[in-house]
């Protein structure tokens, strides 16, 4: 019989540590629901001690998610572990994931602790966490740069204290597949009680090898849990991409011989949702979830695929959730049809008032756009939720003028703290003029780090989805806005980013 590979998703924790990817509670709940539909085994919902907002999000997710285990990260101290336990209290199945750095560099320079102190703290943390749940995971942070003898000592001790999962972290993406896999193999061979725990891989993509390292940890090292994120979201170059590792295991079952509980048809919807909420666009040639992943441009390939699909395709697009853009609703669709489509898309709005507000927006859009696709509905709900979550700045209307040979001008009406303002600006282009107009009143002084526009569906009548990444005083935030008019979408994205800056939700990074 094939072993099962446990899929541990950390989009909401390690993914969120990516600069600008921080999410609101409602956004996290939407992603958690989608992860449950995807049937991931474990959802790492956040780091409870990071901020009151993180705590509340984990608690809400713990109360909602029934089929996946819900997990919180915690540093190896009583306060963090107690916060994690408190946030996870409503969960049907809960896990506490505690970690401490074990590499000489991290122990000496970051923790300023001796190896003996780290050893004691790791043991105490696991012992304390076990008071709240049997399901405790321990990670030696920067494991791949740690001394093997020291790792053996610490890991044997934490397993003896009751850690059920040992997650071997390649924190800085330093691993090489064969070496990383062999480290896990050696640890499992040398540690006498290693068979009392499930071994897990956790890889970062700094050298572009996160997926390869994870697979080597599974094949060579015998790991049976993989930690990953949707679209490979994560700090710096990101984490192991869930969609890549899952489809590798599934497509090459002949080689890996492992079972998964994942519903792969939910992969693309999950990818789109995470991309839309975080504003991190998916590159077109990204494996599995990129727009070109199943597109055959060359005549020879098209001809081959038409004759026999498997000449050039090793996976089927529909198996990972790609569907042709479907016209689902139109101008004449009623509230019931709209509500039913929301349900089919797995979008659960909290109150009838929210359904009404989303429906009003849908009607507005349907007046301007004859064909409404699923992607349009997802975008309008996201927009609606963003404005509900942080309402200090709110878009009202915009007019702009651009003409060859003239400097573009924009007039923007928006509300700031409930007061409606009218402002004007000029710029090098219509978006620049719009941002200048907003800044003439908002005076945020933030620096624009990224401005990107994506078409939500195909064709020139598609809505544009704009991401604006702003930085101020060391904080980085992403704002996302969508509209048929990309200048309006830009204004919405800019105001949404200002809202995030304004909310001042400070969070601790667990690894600093
Ligand atoms: O990369 C890392 O080391 C982590 C740990 C907290 C598991 O994310
Ligand atoms: Zn990590």
pLDDT digits over 116-137, tens only? Answer: 999 999 999 999 999 999 999 9
For residue 13, the CA-to-ligand 1 centroid distance in Å is: 10
**pLDDT average, residue stretch 220-237:** 98
- The residue whose CB lies within 8 Å of the most ligand 1 atoms, and thus the one to mutate among 11, 49, 99, is 99
- The residue whose CB lies within 8 Å of the most ligand 1 atoms, and thus the one to mutate among 142, 144, 202, 509, is 202
- The residue whose CB lies within 8 Å of the most ligand 1 atoms, and thus the one to mutate among 14, 140, 240, 509, is 14
Nearest ligand for residue 229 CA: 2
Q: Name the DSSP class of 108.
A: I
**6-9 and 42-47 strand pairing:** parallel
Percent of the chain residues topping a pLDDT of 90 = 75
What is 247-302 written as a DSSP string? HHHHHTHHHH-EE----GGGHHHHHHHHHHHH--PPPTT-TTTSTTTT---SHHHH
pLDDT value of residue 409: 98
Which residue's CA lies nearest to atom 8 of ligand 1? Answer: 14
| Total residues found in the chain within this entry | 512
Nearest ligand for residue 100 CA: 1
> What torsion, rounded to 10 degrees, do the Cα atoms 57, 58, 59, 63 define?
100
**pLDDT average, residue stretch 105-111:** 98
- Residue ranges per domain, the chain? 3-278, 297-323, 328-512
- Rg value, the chain, Cα: 24
E-strand spans in 54-153? 69-75, 94-101, 136-141
pLDDT value of residue 390: 61
Is the pLDDT reported for residue 468 higher than 80? yes
Confidence at 6, pLDDT banded by 50, 70, 90: very high
**pLDDT average, residue stretch 311-327:** 85
For residue 203, the CA-to-ligand 1 centroid distance in Å is: 8
pLDDT value of residue 337: 87
Q: 410 with 395: CB under 8 angstroms?
A: no
Is the pLDDT reported for residue 299 higher than 80? no
pLDDT value of residue 332: 85
Q: What is the pLDDT of residues 209-228, one digit of tens each?
A: 999 999 999 999 999 999 99
Mean pLDDT of all residues belonging to the chain? 93
What CA–CA distance (Å, rounded) separates 269 from 290? 12
Q: For domain 3-278, give the CATH number.
A: 3.20.20.70
Nearest ligand for residue 139 CA: 1
Q: Identify which of 78, 125, 117 has the alpha carbon closest to the alpha carbon of residue 99.
A: 125
Is the pLDDT reported for residue 328 higher than 90? no
Q: What is the pLDDT of residues 345-401, one digit of tens each?
A: 778 787 888 889 889 989 989 888 888 888 888 888 877 776 665 679 999 999 999
pTM summary value: 0.92
* Fold assignment, 328-512: Double Stranded RNA Binding Domain (3.30.160)
Q: What is the pLDDT of residues 27-62, one digit of tens each?
A: 999 999 999 999 999 999 999 999 999 999 999 999
Is the pLDDT reported for residue 242 higher than 90? yes
Ligand 1: atom nearest CA of 169 is: 3
Which residue's CA lies nearest to atom 5 of ligand 1? Answer: 141
Is the pLDDT reported for residue 148 higher than 90? yes
Backbone phi and psi for residue 377, each to the nearest 5 degrees, phi listed first? -65, -45
Q: Is the CB of 169 under 6 A from ligand 1?
A: yes
């Amino acid at each position: 019989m094939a072993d099962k590979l446990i899929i541990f998703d950390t989009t909401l924790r390690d993914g969120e540590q990516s600069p600008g990817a921080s999410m609101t509670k409602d956004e996290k709940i939407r992603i958690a629901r989608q992860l449950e539909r995807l049937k991931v085994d474990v959802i790492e919902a956040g780091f409870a001690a990071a901020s009151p907002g993180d705590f509340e999000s984990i608690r809400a997710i713990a109360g909602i998610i029934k089929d996946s285990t819900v997990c919180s990260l915690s540093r190896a101290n009583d306060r963090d572990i107690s916060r994690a336990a408190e946030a996870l209290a409503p969960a049907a199945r809960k896990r506490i994931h505690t970690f401490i750095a074990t590499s000489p560099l991290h122990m000496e320079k970051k923790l300023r602790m001796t190896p003996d102190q780290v050893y004691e703290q790791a043991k105490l943390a696991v012992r304390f966490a076990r008071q709240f749940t049997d399901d405790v995971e321990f990670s030696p942070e920067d494991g791949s740069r740690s001394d093997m003898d020291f790792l053996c000592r610490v890991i044997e001790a934490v397993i003896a204290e009751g850690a059920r999962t040992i997650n071997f972290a390649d924190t800085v993406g330093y691993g090489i597949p064969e070496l990383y896999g062999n480290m896990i193999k050696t640890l499992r061979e040398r540690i006498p009680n290693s068979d009392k725990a499930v071994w897990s891989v956790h890889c970062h993509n700094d050298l572009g090898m996160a997926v390869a390292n994870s697979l080597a940890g599974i094949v060579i090292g015998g790991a049976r849990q993989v930690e990953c994120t949707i679209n490979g979201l994560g700090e710096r170059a990101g984490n192991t991409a869930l969609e890549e590792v899952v489809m590798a295991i599934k497509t090459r079952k002949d080689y890996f011989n492992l079972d998964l509980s994942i519903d792969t048809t939910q992969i693309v919807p999950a990818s789109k949702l995470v991309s839309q909420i975080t504003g991190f666009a998916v590159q077109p040639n990204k494996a599995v979830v990129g727009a070109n992943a199943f597109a055959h441009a060359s005549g020879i390939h098209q001809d081959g695929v038409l004759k026999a699909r498997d000449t050039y395709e090793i996976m089927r697009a529909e198996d990972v959730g790609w569907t042709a853009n479907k016209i689902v609703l139109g101008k004449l669709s009623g509230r019931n049809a709209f509500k039913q489509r929301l349900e089919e898309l797995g979008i659960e709005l909290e109150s009838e008032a929210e359904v009404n507000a989303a429906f009003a927006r849908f009607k507005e859009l349907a007046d301007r756009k004859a064909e409404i696709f699923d992607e349009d509905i997802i975008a309008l709900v996201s927009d609606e939720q963003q404005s509900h979550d942080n309402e200090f700045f709110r878009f009202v209307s915009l007019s702009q003028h651009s003409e060859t040979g003239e400097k573009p001008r924009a007039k923007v009406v928006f509300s700031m703290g409930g007061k409606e303002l009218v402002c004007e600006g000029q710029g090098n282009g219509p978006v620049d003029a719009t941002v200048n107009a907003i800044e003439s009143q908002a005076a945020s002084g933030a620096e624009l780090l990224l401005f990107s526009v994506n078409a939500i569906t195909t064709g020139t009548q598609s809505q544009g989805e704009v991401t604006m990444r702003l930085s101020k005083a060391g904080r980085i935030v992403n704002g996302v806005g969508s509209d048929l008019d990309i200048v309006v979408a830009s204004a919405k994205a800019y105001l949404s980013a200002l809202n995030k800056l304004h909310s001042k939700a400070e969070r601790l990074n667990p690894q600093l």
